[in-house]
Chains A and B, each alone.
Chain A
Amino acid sequence: MAANQEPRPGWRDGLRESATFDRATIHEIQRAAREGIYAIRGGGAKRRVPSFDDLLLLGASVSRYPLEGYRERCETDVVLGTRFAKRPLHLEIPVTIAGMSFGALSAPAKEALGRGATAMGTSTTTGDGGMTPEERGHSKTLVYQLLPSRYGMNPDDLRRADAIEVVVGQGAKPGGGGMLLGQKISDRVAEMRDLPVGIDQRSACRHPDWTGPDDLEIKIEELREITDWEKPIFIKVGATRTYYDVALAVKAGADVVVLDGMQGGTAATQDVFIEHVGIPTLAAVPQAVQALTELGMHRKVQLIVSGGIRSGADVAKALALGADAVSIGVAALVAIGDNAPELEEEYAKIGSAPGFYDAWHEGRDPAGILTQDAELAARFDPELGGRRLANYLRTMVLETQTLARACGKSRVQNLEPEDLVALTVEAAAMARVPLAGTDWVPGRESR
């Protein structure tokens, strides 16, 4: 009898399942006993956590008035890197494409991201493996990551980039390094990363030449010197002790802070790391905004939020909490074709199904996106993928504007925390907004 036909959850034909040792847990223990190694997968935290879904926007009515669609403008552009850089980034929409490596992704997939982002006037970001000519060629605005591994890092690409992102960590695994298994270390990836073909890449979790914000400050100075102070410097952190992290990022000299919550994806990491380390995006954003505000840096050091951004509703709520922009990773991959229903048979062959596929580390993606296999990658059409991404971004932005106009805003960044209420006590406490219909913000003075 299928699970959704069970008369009582956890019961089947008189058999009772344990909540502690449920079927999924038993399955995982048995797998570990067979294989002797942790489970590895892609994606972000799967379990339900308090999120933007638990927040609602307060639309206009008698005390507040909405803007008419189309005629009454609702601006979406954002400038990133105004603090120190000679050439800040001017983006037309407040949604950027997050760092994802060539290696994790195929070359045509990176090209698609560049095409789609450029069509909508926004940026893409390189990943743990360096900059490819395809991405630089197709991305009008490209952010170049500096990671602990330093794979592919070089000053020519540093100068070709439009901004530099120092990666301290990411939401899926704050405190962890990169991971790419042998099946994805193709000839080209091996050459870019300076590794033997087909081995499992081991990655450092700390940068090789600095540890701590006091020494990061000096590293950032070096990056600015090498690039003649032109480019904005981003610092990316996975959400953990966010209040302190953001304050320290500012003190270390960041132009922009990128904050990635636990729902943020990865191409490959231990499942236990993804699910049990880091905090939800919702809980991290107010900490970041508080740190920036206390330092007098809110809107002066821009805040980009990522980790489970899926729709214009998420964008609007992130902006309302104080972000300047958001970044998408998993959503962008889905938009260009990951987990497509047309590939159901292909997924079945590798033991998965559309909507469930997350074994990105295996490199057998039938969509040709999360693979280095030449045949599979050849199936992926980067032009079509680019159009799909542009459509999705356009939809997100239209949604954001719809919600912002309904709240009376002529600019999406004018959304504020007072436009939000929460559906649950946890979400109210984490987001620091009142429970809907009440004045109550758990743990704080009433507003």
Chain B
Amino acid sequence: MSVAASLSFDLAAGGVRELNAALHAGEAAEYRVLEPGGRHAVAAGAMDEVEVLIEGSVGYYCAGMNQRATVRVRGNAGVGVAENMMSGRVFVAGDASQAAGASAHGGLLAIAGNASARCAISLKGADVVVRGSVGHMSAFMAQSGRLLVCGDAGEALGDSLYEARIYVRGEVASLGADCVEKEVRDEHRAEIVELLAAAGFDDVEVADFRRYGSARRLYNFDVDNAGEY
């Protein structure tokens, strides 16, 4: 079967199934998705190094469990964009709803607008970079990977954090259980530069970022820390 250079899908005419079937069958190198109309699971389960261009706003789980593909959403994304992504890149030109990048293991999720509550919840190794602000409980139980926020962060940032690293440039409304501010050293500045460059947000000042990580007091139960639970 020959691989087409580019295939177009009008979701108002066809549907998500047609697009995803073609994507999983490896029918093209590039997929253009028109009239997404807030539909769910658009470009979910991609497996190949292809380009997916979505012209509009999507619903839940866009690029869910993405592998290797580069997915660009020229609009807003609903709940769970790039959830459990393994590799590849997802760019959201607008805002993202809750649980953006939830439990993602690898790859990059870059949001040019704001992300909502629980951004990077349960993160497992991916990079999530947000040009705007994130909502409450972001990086909740984040195990590994990096969350970088150019704007503000809502309440309980990094609650129950494991080894993920968090960088925030704006205000943090409050820190969650076991999440503390940490020193920013040269290696962290380099990381911030790397993340901003990967996301394409080159105009952001590196100097004002602060770093947050786990205090590791909840790693093994100690009765004196019981108040944190």
Contacts and interface: CB of A to CB of B under 8 A. Distances in A.
A196 B64 contact: no
B114 interface: no
B223 A36 contact: yes
A209 B17 contact: no
B28 to A, nearest CB: 17
A148 to B, nearest CB: 8
B220 A199 contact: yes
Contacts of B103: 150, 153, 208-209
Interface string A201-225: 0101000111000010011011001
B65 A221 contact: no
A210 B99 CA distance: 9
B116 to A, nearest CB: 12
A445 B143 CA distance: 55
A219 B143 CA distance: 23
Given A35-B223, A209-B79, A222-B44, A194 B125 contact: yes
B226 interface: yes
A101 to B, nearest CB: 16
A147 B218 CA distance: 22
A200 interface: yes
A199 B143 CA distance: 12
A293 interface: no
A158 interface: yes
Q: Report, as a range, how many residues of chain B touch the other chain.
A: 35 or more
Given A196-B162, A208-B102, A221 B20 contact: no
Interface in B86-100: 86, 98-99
A2 interface: no
A85 B226 CA distance: 46
Contact of A196 (B83, B124, B219): B219
A150 B124 contact: yes
A311 interface: no
A129 B102 CA distance: 17
B71 to A, nearest CB: 14
Interface string B36-47: 000011001101
A182 B218 contact: no
Contacts of B163: 196
Interface string B63-75: 0110100000000
Nearest to A228: B24
| Size bin of chain A's contact surface | 20 to 34
B124 A155 contact: no
B60 A200 contact: no
Contacts of A199: 162, 219-220
Given A154-B105, A155-B84, A202 B65 contact: no
Contacts of B223: 35-37
A137 to B, nearest CB: 22
A149 B122 CA distance: 7
A431 B222 CA distance: 44
Contacts of A194: 105, 124-125, 143-144
A210 B40 CA distance: 13
B105 A202 contact: no
Given A194-B105, A194-B144, A154 B65 contact: yes
B31 interface: no
Nearest to A35: B223
Contact of A225 (B17, B102, B143, B219): B17
Interface string B102-135: 1101000000000000100110110000000000
B141 interface: yes
B221 A37 contact: yes
Given A194-B144, A200-B220, A202-B160, A150 B61 contact: no
B219 A208 contact: no
A226 interface: yes
B60 A154 contact: no
A391 interface: no
A290 interface: no
A195 interface: yes
Contact of B65 (A37, A155, A200, A228): A155
Interface string A228-243: 1100000000000000
A227 B45 contact: yes
Given A200-B219, A210-B79, A150 B84 contact: yes
Complex A-B, nearest 4 residue pairs according to Cβ-Cβ distance, in ascending order: A226-B45, A36-B223, A209-B80, A150-B103
23 contacts: A35-B223, A150-B124, A154-B65, A154-B84, A154-B105, A155-B86, A182-B219, A194-B144, A195-B143, A196-B219, A198-B220, A199-B220, A204-B141, A208-B83, A208-B103, A209-B61, A218-B79, A221-B41, A222-B41, A222-B61, A225-B44, A225-B45, A225-B64
Given A194-B105, A209-B121, A221-B41, 14 more contacts: A36-B226, A150-B124, A154-B65, A154-B84, A154-B86, A155-B47, A155-B84, A156-B67, A195-B143, A196-B219, A200-B218, A208-B102, A209-B102, A215-B79
Interface of B: 16-17, 20-21, 24, 40-41, 44-45, 47, 59-61, 64-65, 67, 79-80, 83-84, 86, 98-99, 102-103, 105, 118, 121-122, 124-125, 140-141, 143-144, 160, 162-163, 218-221, 223, 226
Interface of A: 35-37, 149-150, 153-156, 158, 182, 194-196, 198-200, 202, 204, 208-210, 215, 218-219, 221-222, 225-229
